[in-house]
Amino acid sequence: MAEWKYLKYEIQERWARLAVREWINANPRIIVGTSIISVLIPVVIVIWQLTPEKMVTIEDYKKAWFYDLNTGKLFVDRSDKIAPIEAPSGPLPNGEPGGVKAYVFTYAYEPNEAERFIGFLETIDPNAEKDSSSSGKSRTAGGAQWGRGKLIRRVEDEQWLAGDSSEGRAILEEVLIANENGETAHYCRPE
């Protein structure tokens, strides 16, 4: 028991030597300020965490690239058109419209015509079921839903592939592979 009294006495002595109590009594504004800051910091953090993030607005392009299957050249038209559309060169030999949507990419910041390339072409799959996503019945999300009801292909390919098939996804992934400089291609919107 005497050991505890000695320890208590020793702590009081050291506390007195530090003169912390006198300093606290002499500077109450600093202690009050520190206390207020200690309370405000967690409150600000909680408010910041609970505040919803700003919605990211995605720029809606008014124009889109299209590819003339007759001439092999790009042309620009309204982005709300769904391929196949009428091409500048006219219809295909079988009578169908000759324009399909083209996804043009580049590695350059401000590309010229030589720095752009066509990643893939897109058209609507005439055999696909009608999209049920507008009715809320679709259980497919994200990128898999993008390819539903669409056919895609490379420019040099002859065969169209389902956009949501493994072969179709391979075409999409091929476009996003980094080049020899480690740069990833980005979409090049029409002017």
What pLDDT, on a 0 to 100 scale, did the predictor assign at position 105? 92
What pLDDT does 136 receive?
46
β pairing state of 99-106 and 116-124: antiparallel
| Residue 41 token pair | 């910091």
Shared domain for 32 and 119, answered yes or no, is: no
In which residue ranges of the chain is pLDDT below 70?
A: 1, 15, 17-21, 55-60, 130-145
Q: Provide the number of structural domains found in the chain.
A: 2
The DSSP annotation for 139-158 comes to ---HHHHHTTTEEEE-TT--
Please indicate, yes or no, whether residues 37 and 109 belong to a single structural domain of this protein.
Answer: no
> In this structure, are 143 and 79 located in the same domain?
yes
On whether both 139 and 180 belong to a single domain, the answer is: yes
Convert the pLDDT of each residue in 95-115 to its tens digit: 999 999 999 999 888 888 888
Give a yes or no: residue 55 inside a domain.
no
Same-domain status, 67 and 35: no
| CA angle 183–186–188, rounded 5-degree value | 135
Domain span at 31: 2-50
How many residues does this entry show for the chain?
A: 191
pLDDT at residue 144, rounded to an integer: 55
CA atoms within 13 A on the CB side of 56: 1
The verdict on residue 112 lying in a domain is: yes
Is residue 69 assigned to a domain? Answer: yes
Q: What is the pLDDT of residue 134?
A: 43
Same domain, 106 and 135: yes
Same domain? For 110 and 30 the reply is no
The pTM (predicted TM-score) of the whole model is 0.62
